[in-house]
Amino acid sequence: MGWNSWNRFACHVNEALIRSAADAMVSSGMRDAGYSYIVIDDCWQGERDAKGFMAPDAKKFPSGMKVLADYVHAKGLKFGIYSDAGTKTCGGFPGSHGYETQDAQRYAEWGVDYLKYDWCNTDKQDAPSSYLTMSKALQASGRPIVFSLCEWGNTKPWLWAQNIGNLWRNTGDIADRWDGMDPNGYSMGLLKIVDMQAGLEAYAGPGHWNDPDMLEVGNGGMTDNEYRAHFSLWAMFAAPLIAGNDLAAMSPATRDILLNKEVIAVDQDSLGVAASRVWKDGDAEVWVRPLKGGGRAVVLLNRGLTPREIGVSWEQLRYPDHLVAKLRDLWLHKETGTATARTSAVVAGHAVVMLTISP
């Protein structure tokens, strides 16, 4: 859980922005809700020195990365950074290819806690071996650093990355839209990414997670109902909750979504089992996630525009029909009674109802 600069600010990063994000993560209550990582994405880089060590852009980050990391750590937060497995990053800055050991050493010296590692300008490199090289360099650095693989799912990292990194992207970049492709031609709407999660739940678990990309909540391209669906589904997927909005300028609605502690608790459930799509009929879907203690988290998703009644059966929950279970609505923050065999709700268009169902 944390924040990354890319979705809202892209290449427009600097020291003041990162300090402001750290301040806002604390003042908004996000830190206390479990968010911890402040991650600078692409475009922070300057040049390598004569010995090959990387330095930040001195105009953007005049105090240097060690001082900035210390500032973030002093807030009770963790500090993350970005690089690329190729010769250049996606933004055209120096990549880590051939400099993995030096870069890992420098990140450790700076106090980095998280590395997002991209896949631009990699030519004929092999993804598993390239990521393994940086993984070994990070492990040899003497500092525990979360390793986030970002090759967009092209080589099915869920099949090979479990012992290399802690999380791996399994889709292309997210776009701030409900469905379809962004006009840029490569980033995709929420529902396209949701569909790509079906069938990958078996590969997620404690210490190795599927990553359907960062959150767009609060960036303005979707409605609040759509953003609630976005946040709910990411929690169901046991996905990283990496906010991507302007933390210092959140609307009350955005803050309420990102700070919904009941939904966060589903995401962070210690059983670590990701949701399965157990039913689909046109625009209506049911996703179920087992929780520690025997309960279930359920999302009733309406992809269409028209309100629709959507139900879930106890058979889909793998409960006996006679079992009496308590229902709680995680967006209404209230118990909604008990049920046996089945329950249903009317779900607004482009929205979800998110429940916990507990014996």
115 vs 104: CA distance, rounded Å: 9
Q: Which residues of 194-217 are buried (b: 16+ CB within 10 A; e: fewer)?
A: bbbbeebbebbeeebbbbbbbbbb
**Residue tagged 């994000």 (tokens):** 21
Neighbours of 240 (CB within 10 A): 23
* Catalytic status, residue 267: no
CA dihedral defined by 263, 269, 273, 275, rounded to 10 degrees? -10
Which residue, among 216, 166, 209, 219, has the nearest Cα to 189 in the 3D structure? 216
From 41, 103, 173, 269, active-site residue: 173
The amino acid occupying position 84 is D
User: Cβ distance 61 to 93 under 8 Å?
Assistant: no
Question: Quick one: tokens of 249?
Answer: 């300028």
In the annotation, is 256 catalytic? Answer: no
Q: Which of 41, 84, 103, 118 is catalytic?
A: 118
Give the active site residues. Answer: 118, 173
